[in-house]
Amino acid sequence: MDIFHECKELILKPHARWHTIYNESISYQVFLRKFLLPVIVLIGLANIVGDLLFASRFGVVFSYVLTHAMGEMAVYFFSVIGIAYVINELGAGFGIIRNFDNVIRFVGYSMVPVFAVSIITALFPGLYLFIVFGFYSIYLFLTGIPHFFPAINKLPHNRKQNFMISAVVLGILVYLLVFYLLSSILCN
């Protein structure tokens, strides 16, 4: 699994890539080991390098650099797990069969633009306007739903919209909750 190629293809050709990703039969453990964890480690390394290059002139100590990197990695890891769990349960309320292996891959791949923005802004703090690209994750999320939840196509239009809106809102709320909780723990 070439991570860079996976990310590039998903960003540039989301519909075709979602179809391919859905048809791959890999467990969530394999997805974690071969895609998600390496990307999250890359985010942590980017934070370490960025903090050492740019924050070190402000007298930042190495323990802060490590804590910051570990916090970023934890936020993304637990966000993906939490969002996948919530969406998996939400789908059951709409008559969609629970399948955590598929949902965690869906959520992890949907967050590729957020991961990319995190890496870029960690390495180049002056590019914080680039954070807007992270919202492309919502587009990827919405375009991936029909591929990963084929039963949704059989729902009436208003129920399909309700699921999609609920999934996006709950995903954002879970991310914010994880961020807040981990920030509170790490800052105290």
pLDDT (tens digit per residue) in 91-141: 988 888 888 988 999 999 999 999 999 999 998 877 777 888 888 999 999
Which sign, positive or negative, has the C-alpha torsion 89, 91, 96, 98?
negative
- Count of C-beta atoms within a 10 Å radius of residue 154: 10
Higher pLDDT: 1 or 148? It is 148
Q: How far apart are CA 8 and CA 63, in angstroms?
A: 34
Q: How far apart are CA 41 and CA 45, in angstroms?
A: 6
Report how many domains make up the chain.
Answer: 1
Q: Give the HSE-up count for residue 88: Cα atoms under 13 Å, Cβ half-sphere.
A: 16
Q: Domain range for residue 160?
A: 3-187
Alpha helices (H) along 1-125? 3-12, 14-23, 28-31, 37-50, 62-93, 100-110, 112-123
Query: Residue 89: pLDDT band by 50, 70, 90 thresholds?
Result: very high
Residue where the block lists tokens 């797990």: 81
